[in-house]
């Protein structure tokens, strides 16, 4: 199976195992969605290069799916780190063919209480980091490859107190679409995934401590948070030949939250005493 087969072509449906031997770089792979994605793509036979800023946890996680030797420290905000990682993949004979930009972090604050420093920190990590990854793909990715950028439901629906994070995540979708258009002539597809509320450590911050999680869950049509594995499955679809004609989309993985207004029966019953 060659790397150019990853994105497939007009020939049709790909057999399973289309990622075998393909060079995949995943950022933010020490935890959460990045970790689940790296493990899933590795289980499909891809040569996954898990990367993260957290070396200790990154190596531990990578060892779980047999990729400890390929783990690299990559701070997504640092140009040199990107060049070094991509060069290493080429030298190993596993040139960059799939890129999943999952590194990110959130913060919660009303705009009036958001410092310039924290706003810039959000943009740097979530948007500049994704830009540097997309630019590496534009320069070095093997024709026929695929990029998936992780945006967010908060990059689709403006959300109070998530101004800095939301601005970055709206930006990630814009960047993805521009790249989808610019790189299409190389057969490189670029899509974004917009998760809703997923059970990871991203909200383990004092900013989010007061959130009423139960009320939030009631607002999700599927009445539960998603798992990192469910997002990873959506990412697998977007990098696999099965999505060979899907380019420039924002795939919501949010249990239906963005579909429209939802009134929870459970809540209504509780209110009416039923
Ligand atoms: N969990 C959710 O509910 C949710 C919802 C929507 C979008 N997202 C997005 O999904 C992506 C993954 O988030 P998660 O929920 O898995 O969070 P997570 O905190 O579990 O994982 C994020 C990873 O990014 C790494 N990271 C942080 N800064 C980095 C840097 N400068 N360079 C490289 N790595 C860095 C962290 O060490 C961590 O391993 C993020 O982009 C996030 O914004 C998450």
- Alpha-carbon distance of 204 to 226, in angstroms, equals 16
Q: Probe ligand 1: pick from 54, 73, 77, 104, max atoms within 8 Å of CB?
A: 104
Do the Cβ atoms of 54 and 30 come closer than 8 Å?
yes
**Looking at the domain assignment, is residue 9 inside a domain?**
no
pLDDT at 164: 98
Annotation says 165 is catalytic: yes
Per the structure, how many domains does the chain have?
Answer: 1
Best mutation site among 33, 225, 258 for ligand 1 pocket (most ligand atoms within 8 Å of CB): 33
Given CA atoms 233, 238, 240, 243 in this order, what sign does their dihedral have?
A: positive
Give the integer Cα–Cα distance in Å for 93 and 111.
47
- Indicate if ligand 1 lies below 6 Å from the C-beta of 201: yes
State whether the beta carbon of 202 lies less than 6 angstroms from ligand 1.
yes
Specify the CATH number for the domain of residue 135.
Answer: 3.40.50.720
How does 162-192 read in b/e, with b if 16+ C-beta sit within 10 Å?
bbbbbbbbbbbbebbbebbeebeeebbbbbb
What is the 190 CA–ligand 1 centroid distance (Å)?
Answer: 19
Say if 194 falls within a structural domain. yes
Residues in the chain with pLDDT values less than 70: 1-17, 265-274
Cα of 147 from ligand 1 centre, angstroms: 17
H-helix or E-strand spanning residue 229: helix 228-239
Domain span holding position 123: 18-202+227-258
Considering the domain boundaries, does residue 7 fall inside one?
Answer: no
Distance of CA 36 to the CA centre of its chain: 11
How many angstroms does the Cα of residue 202 sit away from the middle of ligand 1? 6
Which protein residue has the closest C-alpha to ligand 1 atom 8?
152
pTM: 0.93
Ligand 1 pocket, residue 33 CB under 6 Å: yes
Q: Report if residue 42 sits inside a domain.
A: yes
**Beta carbon of 58 within 6 Å of any ligand 1 atom:** no
Asked if residue 78 is part of any domain, the answer here is yes
Query: Whose C-alpha lies nearest to ligand 1, atom 16?
Result: 32
How many other C-beta atoms are found inside a 10 Å radius of the C-beta of residue 87? 12
Looking at residue 160, its pLDDT comes to 97
Q: Measure 167 CA to ligand 1 centroid, in angstroms.
A: 16
Distances (CA, A) of 82 to 11, 77, 86, 99, 131: 34, 9, 6, 12, 11
- Is 168 inside a domain boundary? yes
H/E segment holding residue 191: strand 189-195
Residue 272 located in a structural domain:
no
Q: Is residue 191 part of a domain?
A: yes
d(CA 122, CA 77): 11
Q: Hey, whose CA ends up nearest to atom 43 of ligand 1? A: 104
């Amino acid at each position: 199976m060659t790397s150019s087969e990853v994105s497939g072509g007009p020939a049709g449906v790909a057999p399973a195992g289309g990622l075998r031997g393909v060079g995949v770089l995943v950022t933010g792979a020490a935890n959460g969605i990045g970790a689940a994605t790296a493990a899933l793509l590795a289980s499909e036979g891809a040569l996954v290069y898990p990367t993260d800023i957290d070396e200790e946890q990154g190596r531990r996680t990578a060892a779980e799916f047999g990729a400890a030797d390929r783990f690299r420290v990559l701070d997504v905000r640092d140009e040199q780190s990107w060049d070094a990682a991509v060069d290493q993949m080429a030298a190993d004979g596993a040139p960059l063919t799939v890129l999943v930009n999952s590194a990110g972090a959130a913060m919660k604050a009303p705009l009036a209480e958001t410092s310039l420093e924290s706003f810039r920190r959000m943009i740097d990590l979530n948007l500049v980091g994704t830009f540097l990854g997309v630019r590496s793909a534009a320069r070095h990715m093997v024709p026929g490859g695929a990029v998936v950028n992780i945006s967010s439901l908060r990059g689709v629906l403006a959300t109070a107190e998530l101004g800095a994070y939301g601005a970055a995540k709206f930006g990630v979708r814009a960047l993805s679409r521009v790249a989808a258009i610019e790189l299409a002539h190389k057969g490189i597809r670029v899509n974004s995934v917009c998760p809703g509320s997923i059970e990871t450590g991203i909200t383990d911050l004092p900013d989010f401590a007061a959130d009423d999680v139960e009320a939030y869950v009631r607002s999700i049509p599927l009445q539960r948070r998603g798992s990192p594995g469910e997002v990873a499955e959506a990412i697998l679809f977007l990098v696999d030949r099965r999505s060979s004609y899907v380019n420039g989309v924002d795939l919501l993985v949010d249990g239906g939250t963005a579909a429209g207004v939802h009134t929870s029966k459970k809540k209504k019953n509780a209110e009416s005493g039923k």
